[in-house]
Structure 1
Amino acid sequence: MTLFQQLLLGSLYLGICLAVEAGLLVFCVHILRHRLDALKRIWRFWRMAAVLAVAIGLIVFAHTVQVWIWASAVIMAGAIGDWNTAVYFSLATYTTLGYGDVVLGEGMRIFAAFGAVTGLFAFGISTAFLVAALREVFALDRENGR
């Protein structure tokens, strides 16, 4: 794969993954907002636990989907021949752990690096989302005089 192709395809997959991340976080906001009235009536501990469970569950799902997207990309590109290795490589790259025991050829290295960039963006967005969600929970407590 040429440099231009790697940049183009890497950017495409990065965009797809960030759209998945954004879409699932918007869905999470939708779920939490529609359940806000019910959350106002329950104890603080359970309210915080419910918000965290929903938010963390959807965030983990979003990251898992993105790892599978990258695994599919390296399989379709022919860079890795089996799903087990592709998912392992994608997970190690996405989390920027990068053990180095599975390495792609020169024609795919830049493309694979986009998987790491995707993970960096997604983890940053997820962290900011969790902080914002908890801020809302704490604001509810202040409104209720707790």
Structure 2
Amino acid sequence: MKVVGGRAKMLLQIVTAAGVLLTTIFIHGTAVMLLFHIGRGPLTGTQKLAAYVRLGVTGFFVIGFLIAHIIEIMVWATVYRLVGELQSFEEAVYFSAITFATIGYGDITLSPEWRLASAIEGVNGILLFGWTTAFLFKVSEIWFSRRDTDHHIVRS
């Protein structure tokens, strides 16, 4: 009987974590689209912008993604509080942040009933940080490539 209960608890963790993961992907996708929409103008006229202006707009993107990551961390923290795993929201945010960033100090842990969810949060963080990195890399490639400054890009 205990095995059935254990499987049900594991399934609850996986379903809950998958729901949170999909929520954070939606949040991050919205952030990517919004930041791209805002930066579309500067992205298409790179040769007209000074390097320090491009760097400033890149900083804007970084702050935008930082806000997105904080929101995503807080979504996980909210779930940990709702299921009663952590004592305070501050503790939940701290735990979520170190888990999302895959630092994992181990000073705060979840009970065996919910620790699988934290592993899924770590995977979620890796994926979303990778998505952010890919976006910022592409922006940097567009804005700081020698091809752009040498006007070798063929525009249609």
TM norm structure 2: 0.83
Alignment partner, residue 141 of structure 1: 149
**1:144: how far off?**
8.3
Superposed counterparts of 1:32-71, under 5 Å:
32-36=39-43, 40-47=47-54, 49-71=55-77
Which structure has the higher relative contact order (CA within 8 Å, separation 6+)?
A: 1
TM norm structure 1: 0.89
**1:12: how far off?**
0.6
Deviations 1:3-57 (A, max 9, x none): 111110111101111111111011111011134467653322322x133112111
Separation in 1, partners of 2:134, 2:44:
23
Separation in 2, partners of 1:50, 1:142:
22
Separation in 1, partners of 2:42, 2:22:
30
Unaligned runs of 5+ in 1: none
Write the letter of the residue equivalent to 2:85: A
Superposed counterparts of 1:1-146, under 5 Å:
2-36=9-43, 40-47=47-54, 49-138=55-144, 140-143=148-151
Q: Give yes or no for contact 2:31–2:64 (8 Å, CA) kept in 1.
A: yes
Task: Judge which range, 131-140 or 64-73, deviates more.
Answer: 131-140
Separation in 2, partners of 1:3, 1:118:
18
Write the letter of the residue equivalent to 1:33: R
Write the letter of the residue equivalent to 2:89: W
Separation in 1, partners of 2:57, 2:137:
11
Write the letter of the residue equivalent to 2:124: T
Deviations 1:41-96 (A, max 9, x none): 3322322x133112111111111111111110100111112011111100111111
Which of 1 and 2 has greater Rg?
A: 2
Unaligned runs of 5+ in 2: 1-7
